[in-house]
Amino acid sequence: MPTKPAGTLYRGREGMWSWVGHRITGVVIFFFLLVHVLDTSLVRVSPEAYTAVIGAYKNPLMALGETGLVAAIVFHAFNGLRVIAIDFWKKGAKYQRQMLWTVLVLWLVVFGAFAIRHLSLALGGH
Amino acid sequence: MSTEIQAPRSGQNSSGKISSGKISPQYRRGTGSKGNFEMFAWLFMRLSGVVLVVLIFGHLFVNLMVGEGIHGIDFGFVAGKWADPFWQFWDLAMLWLAMLHGTNGVRTIINDYAEKDATRFWLKVVLYAATVVIVVLGTLVIFTFNPCPVLNGVQLPGGFCPAP
């Protein structure tokens, strides 16, 4: 009698959720990248056009958006290195769960440092 | 009486003959019209990923963490960076690798979720068109950047022009 499959690698838990997180952060970063190339391209229109649009990145709401974007980038970066380790390191698949927790600790440290510095610069007396 | 049990994919053909451990033609993974494209795409994601971690972390650190951070960014900041070929090539590498990495990622997602052939096809047409536009535009901007733009013989305000 068939029962639900046991021991499927990508069913719930760390393996699947890190995969979901990698996809979502990847798409978010990709769409920001399209916009970011377009806004930077304004340097070819005029100095004032560029400086005006970049000015929009300096308000407090955008500062929160930038912080969220960097949260996504840092996760995607560290989890991507974990994916590489799973693929190329002999024991990668065995330790994928421990590596995810390592990724999350590194994410907290690096993103935390970025957020403190960026938010104090962006929201601080200017 | 003993029965011989064949190992999986040991290549027993339809008539029951064992063909010396080779895979039967109908189960062979062909090197079809696509060649090794998917394998190279897979490898590219990993190689470009490692390089992008360095390029993007460096980009974020230099632009947002040092000095006055985001408040230091304006036309003059870009002009200062692109006066140095080092940062031109840094940004060029980041543009190309990130766009190809991102495009391949979104291509994978389209293949996973768009079930109709026509939907998949058109989503990828839009994706590739956007990629070409952004990569070409970005590359031109990096290499045709002019710190002293002039319009109809008049210097635009905010530019960095050599003293006459």
pLDDT at B12 over 70: no
- Distance in angstroms (rounded) separating the CA atoms of residues A120 and B21: 67
Which burial class, exposed, middle or buried, applies to B77 when counting CB atoms under 10 A from its CB (0-12, 13-18, 19+)?
Answer: middle
Please indicate if any CB of chain B lies within 8 Å of the CB of A26: yes
Q: What is the pLDDT of residue B149?
A: 82
Range of lowest pLDDT (A6-15, A22-31, B45-54, B127-136): A6-15
**CA dist B69 → A53, B26, B36, B111 (Å):** 17, 61, 44, 40
DSSP B44-101: HHHHHHHHHHHHHHHHHIIIIISTTGGGG-SHHHHHHHHTSHHHHHHHHHHHHHHHHH
Closest in A50, A63, A81 to B75, CB measured: A50
**Residues from chain B contacting residue A118 (CB–CB below 8 Å):** 64-65, 69-70
Q: What is the pLDDT of residue A107?
A: 97
pLDDT at B15 over 60: no
Closest in B53, B69, B134 to A37, CB measured: B134
pLDDT, tens only, B50-59: 999 999 999 9
Q: Would you tell me how many other CB atoms lie within 10 Å of the CB of residue A83?
A: 19
Q: What is the ipTM of this complex?
A: 0.88
pLDDT grade for B27, boundaries at 50, 70 and 90? confident
Please indicate if any CB of chain B lies within 8 Å of the CB of A47: yes
Q: B70–A77: do the CB atoms touch at under 8 Å?
A: no
Closest in B68, B70, B145 to A57, CB measured: B70
pLDDT, tens only, B81-137: 999 999 999 999 999 999 999 999 999 999 999 999 999 999 999 999 999 999 999
Q: What is the pLDDT of residue B146?
A: 82
pLDDT at A5 over 90: no
- Distance in angstroms (rounded) separating the CA atoms of residues B157 and B135: 28
Please indicate if any CB of chain A lies within 8 Å of the CB of B105: yes
Q: Which residue has the tokens 């109709």?
A: B116
Q: Say which residues have a Cβ less than 8 Å from residue A17's Cβ, sequence separation at least 6.
A: none
- Distance in angstroms (rounded) separating the CA atoms of residues A123 and A58: 9
pLDDT, tens only, B138-159: 999 999 988 888 877 777 877 7
pLDDT, tens only, A56-112: 888 889 999 999 999 999 999 999 999 999 999 999 888 999 999 999 999 999 999
Q: What is the pLDDT of residue B119?
A: 95
Question: A44 to chain B nearest CA, in Å?
Answer: 6
- Distance in angstroms (rounded) separating the CA atoms of residues B112 and B106: 10
Instruction: Give the chain A residue whose CA is nearest to the CA of B69.
Output: A121
Instruction: Give the chain B residue whose CA is nearest to the CA of A48.
Output: B158
The mean pLDDT value for B27-54 works out to 86
- Distance in angstroms (rounded) separating the CA atoms of residues A59 and A122: 8
Contact B44, B100 (CB under 8 A): yes
pTM reported for the whole predicted model: 0.83
Q: What is the pLDDT of residue B152?
A: 77
Q: Say which residues have a Cβ less than 8 Å from residue B162's Cβ, sequence separation at least 6.
A: B148
pLDDT, tens only, B71-96: 888 898 999 999 999 999 999 999 99
Q: What is the pLDDT of residue B129?
A: 97
Q: B158–A81: do the CB atoms touch at under 8 Å?
A: no
Q: What is the pLDDT of residue B156?
A: 81
Element housing A90 (H / E): none
Please indicate if any CB of chain A lies within 8 Å of the CB of B1: no
Q: What is the pLDDT of residue A59?
A: 86
Please indicate if any CB of chain A lies within 8 Å of the CB of B78: yes
Q: What is the pLDDT of residue A125?
A: 58
- Distance in angstroms (rounded) separating the CA atoms of residues A79 and A29: 14
